[in-house]
Amino acid sequence: MAKRVPFVCGNWKMHHGVEATRKQVRALVEGLARVQGKVEVAVAPVATTLFAACEAARGSGLKIAAQNVHWAEKGAFTGEWSAAHLVELGVSHAICGHSERRAMFGDDDVTVPKRVRAALDAGLIPIACVGETLAEREGNQTAVVVARQTGAILELIKADEVERLVLAYEPVWAIGTGKNATPTQAQEVHAQIRALLAKRYGAKAEAVRLQYGGSVKPDNAAELMREHDVDGALVGGAALEAASLLAIAEGGMQRA
Measured over the CA atoms of residue 206, residue 185, residue 181 and residue 227, the dihedral's sign is negative
CA–CA separation, 253 and 256 (whole Å): 8
CA–CA separation, 76 and 154 (whole Å): 28
Which residue out of 100, 136, 170, 227 is catalytically annotated?
Answer: 170
| Residue 80 annotated among the catalytic residues of the structure | no
Which residue out of 98, 100, 132, 190 is catalytically annotated?
Answer: 98
| Residue 98 annotated among the catalytic residues of the structure | yes
Give yes or no for a contact between 100 and 68, defined as CB atoms under 8 angstroms apart: no
**Sequence-distant (≥ 6) Cβ neighbours of residue 130 within 8 angstroms:** 97, 145, 146, 149, 150, 153, 167, 168, 169, 170, 193
Q: State which amino acid sits at residue 240.
A: L
CA–CA separation, 74 and 52 (whole Å): 23
Which residues, listed in sequence order, are joined to residue 167 by a DSSP beta bridge?
128, 210
**Sequence-distant (≥ 6) Cβ neighbours of residue 142 within 8 angstroms:** 132, 136, 171, 189
Q: How do the residues of the chain divide into helix, strand and coil, expressed in percent and rounded to 5?
A: 50, 15, 35
The rounded radius of gyration (Å) of the Cα atoms in the chain is 17
For residue 198, the number of C-alpha atoms closer than 13 Å in the C-beta half-sphere is: 9
CA–CA separation, 94 and 83 (whole Å): 8
Catalytic positions? 98, 170
